[in-house]
Amino acid sequence: MIAHSFKGEQFGPAQNVHGATYTVDVTFRSKALVPKCNWVVDIGEASTALGRILSKYNFKNLDEVFPEGENTTTEFMCKAIHGDLAKFFCTDRAKTGGGERFKGSICVKLWESHKAWACYEANV
């Protein structure tokens, strides 16, 4: 659950502060399973990491979280969450000796409703 506003006439009434409630789906894709574990990613670790990442945004006004004046569209937020996940799995985890880095792609999809959604996917 977030609040935000957009800058630019193309956004019409959404230039005013308004709220959105997202449902989040994350897909981890890989061409190979982690040896001995036979998984793409530790799903428990992924769930915990996602919960921590989303807590940065939940019940926040994104205009304050991203004070640079970014239009925090659904697409922008997909990319931001993707970046947070990529940092966790490919940088932070490797630095702390957390085992193999994730190899593959991460897709973050945010649903505003059953007919309004966006996603961002990239290799990490």
Residue 30 sits at φ, ψ, to 5 deg, of -150, 150
Give the domain extent around 43.
2-6+19-123
Query: Which residues are registered as beta bridge partners of 113?
Result: 116
List, for residues 8-67, the tens digit of each pLDDT value. 999 999 999 999 999 999 999 999 998 899 999 999 999 999 999 999 999 999 999 998
Under 8 Å between Cβ of 124 and 105? yes
What is the model's pLDDT at position 58?
Answer: 98
What is the model's pLDDT at position 95?
Answer: 56
List, for residues 66-86, the tens digit of each pLDDT value. 988 899 999 999 999 999 999
Is 12 contained in some domain? Answer: no
Token couple for 40: 């793409």
29 to 18, 37, 39, 103, 104: CA distances (angstroms): 34, 16, 11, 8, 5
Give the CATH number of the domain where residue 42 resides. Answer: 3.30.479.10
Is 13 contained in some domain? Answer: no
Is 78 contained in some domain? Answer: yes
Under 8 Å between Cβ of 50 and 24? yes
User: How many structural domains comprise the chain?
Assistant: 1
